[in-house]
């Protein structure tokens, strides 16, 4: 199954300027997701990070992976986000940054569900550019009801 931007907007609550998943290439419910983030010079953070050599902040690469994980999590649970529930980070382990990501790059986000218990998800996540590892991390997330 694939998802275009219109379907992604129905699956996660993020919006500009923090929506960091442009397309889902493949999703296997309860197993894995492969998605894209097209990195453009028009991203608002590039004016300050860094003007002389624009580089995507590592924290935003992790956020892009977490958003892909959220799509996988909501699909796995067969639910959609609403005004009363959010998919939160609970932890990030083993984050490693292997190469800079620059304007014009296409970040391929690959997230695998490692385990799920009592509403807590553990994911193995990695992102590549042209087949070269850019970032990897273990992500722990949870769905929570908000007041």
For residue 27, the model assigns a pLDDT of 98
Query: CATH number, domain at 25?
Result: 3.10.129.10
Catalytic residue, chosen from 9, 32, 45, 49, is 49
Asked about 49 being catalytic, the answer comes back as yes
Series of mean pLDDT values for 10-residue runs along the chain (147 residues): 96 94 98 98 95 97 97 90 83 98 98 94 98 98 84
Cβ contacts of 82 within 8 Å, gap of 6 or more: none
Report the chain's terminal Cα–Cα distance, integer Å.
33
Q: What is the pTM of this model?
A: 0.96
Domain count, the chain: 1
Residue with tokens 């639910």: 79
Buried/exposed code over 30-49 (b: 16+ C-beta within 10 A; e: otherwise): eebbbbbbebeeebeebeee
- Supply the pLDDT for residue 84: 79
Q: What residue numbers bound the domain in which 97 lies?
A: 5-145
């Amino acid at each position: 199954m694939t998802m275009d931007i219109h379907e992604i907007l129905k699956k996660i609550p993020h919006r500009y300027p923090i929506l960091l998943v442009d397309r889902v290439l493949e999703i296997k419910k309860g197993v894995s997701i492969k998605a894209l983030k097209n990195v453009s010079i028009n991203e608002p953070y590039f004016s300050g990070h860094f003007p002389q050599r624009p580089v995507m902040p590592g924290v935003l690469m992790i956020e892009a992976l977490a958003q892909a994980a959220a799509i996988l999590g909501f699909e796995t649970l067969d639910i959609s986000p609403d005004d009363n529930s959010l998919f939160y980070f609970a932890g990030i382990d083993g984050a490693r940054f292997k190469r800079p990501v620059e304007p014009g790059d296409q970040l391929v986000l690959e997230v695998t569900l490692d385990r799920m218990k009592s509403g807590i998800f553990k994911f193995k996540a990695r992102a590549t550019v042209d087949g070269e590892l850019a970032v990897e991390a273990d992500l722990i997330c949870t769905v929570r009801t908000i007041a």
